[in-house]
Chains A and B, each alone.
Chain A
């Protein structure tokens, strides 16, 4: 029997913001048949990977054309992929999305909290080996084997792996995680596009500044006990945590 007398002070829910990675399906044609056919081909290559995975449908390339959104969504559903929203598209296309209560996302970046649909855990970001057609989805990891010198800046779209040191006055940034197998004396900024799950791993922390998704800490505020030892740095409820590994 449900307990109706539960204390009113106990919150029934909580709004939280969170960032997830979602594959994007770029639509290049309004020909539903050929989309349907090619989707089936693609899914056949890795059925487990695609099954029940969520996808954001990008209509930027067909916004000037006449597209039957309902048919397109059916075609996607038919291969057991779950569209969680659209982005881009013409006024009419967005109207038809609204009609079926499909969320519409902004073009440059996906705001995840706007999606009311129950989401599957985001598929692993290792989509790169699936030769998928969504270029945004291919994580581009960067490997640096030379020292990053003072004044140099490195930006990685995916994870950044450095097998040498990062000098004072150098800046390394990644949209994903940063791994440094050497001394970090410069600045390291992980999750620069807002990925709060990004982490920094470093075998010798002497950093000027560390930051994850915009939450930063400067050298002065880093406990000396964590300096010159291997650490990982991650976010926990907007707080930057440094942990000895």
Chain B
């Protein structure tokens, strides 16, 4: 049975697209046929993060308007043949998405894919609403600061009341917390909310903590999902998250500050 995962946050710039790309790649690497859809119509980014921007012919809106078939629009990843990308349209806006259209595309994808990852745009308007409407699971991406936490809280309220599952009184969407851009050193200094602070406000199952990392920026710039950078802390954190989502019991990492060795201390600043 296919599962639809929405990666959402409410607030912009917290790492939704980075997360979508990483977990979609992670699931595909585990052998699951995975599609990742960019719902940010008009502000297309996912193709860049996945490094397939030069292969976009048709997009999500073309498929909804039946100007192209799903197979024509899906881009197969060059690094992993289980991963497919459905890019957003850059020349349209969110009004081009319709509930029926999105529902039709997702139903079509569900026939052949195991996981469908929906990369939600920021905000709580049409694009974000359509991205989460059909979801089975929600990855709520939050930065450890108050405005991001409050926006996530708002988003959780919308997930609980405005999704298809809520409207049909089915089992609610399963919600997971992903804490991104976490910096244990700054948490220690009291400049950042701790995992406990965020958990206290959101009361949500923590799927993983992704440390603030230079690797994320490098990965974005080179069009490689950060999960493929197995040496990096962020890459490993995303791998853990995929494993935990698939049911493995992995201890949380990157929550506490790493003990700096002699070399670490010498070369620091």
Residues of B within 8 A of A152 (CB): 157, 160-161
Residues from chain A with a CB closer than 8 A to the CB of B160 are 146, 149, 152
Interface of A, secondary structure class, is: loop
Task: Please measure, in the bound complex, the distance between the C-alpha atom of A165 and the C-alpha atom of B203, giving whole angstroms.
Answer: 9
A192 within 8 A of B: no
B150 within 8 A of A: yes
Considering the complex, give the chain A residue whose CB is closest to the CB of B151.
A150
Chain A interface residue bracket vs B: 10 to 19
A150 and B203 form a contact (CB under 8 A): no
Asked if B156 CB lies within 8 Å of chain A CBs, one says yes
Q: A168 to B153, Cβ gap below 8 A?
A: yes
Interface SS of B by simple majority: helix
Contact of B154 among A150, A164, A165, A183 (CB under 8 A): A150
Within the complex, what minimum Cβ distance (angstroms) separates B142 from chain A? 13
Q: How large is the interface on B (under 10, 10 to 19, 20 to 34, 35 or more residues)?
A: 10 to 19
**Once bound together, how far apart are the Cα atoms of A165 and B199, in whole Å?**
12
Complex-state Cα separation, A106 to B153, whole angstroms: 42
Structural contact, B201 and A167, CB atoms closer than 8 A: yes
Whether A168 contacts B150 by the Cβ 8 Å rule is yes
- Docked Cα-Cα span, A152 to B150, in Å, equals 12
Indicate whether A169 reaches chain B with its CB closer than 8 angstroms: yes
Nearest B residue to A149 via CB reads B157
Determine the distance from Cα of A149 to Cα of B201 in the docked complex, in whole angstroms.
10
A164 — which chain B residues lie within 8 A by C-beta?
203
A11 at interface (Cβ–Cβ under 8 A)? no
Q: CB-defined interface of A134-147 with B at 8 Å, one 1/0 digit per residue?
A: 00000000000011
Question: Would you call B158 an interface residue if the criterion is a C-beta within 8 Å of the partner chain's C-beta atoms?
Answer: yes
Is A170 in contact with chain B by the CB < 8 A criterion? yes
Residues of A within 8 A of B153 (CB): 149-151, 167-169
For B200, give the chain A residue with the smallest CB separation. Answer: A183
A binding-site residues for B, Cβ under 8 Å? 146-152, 164-165, 167-170, 183, 185
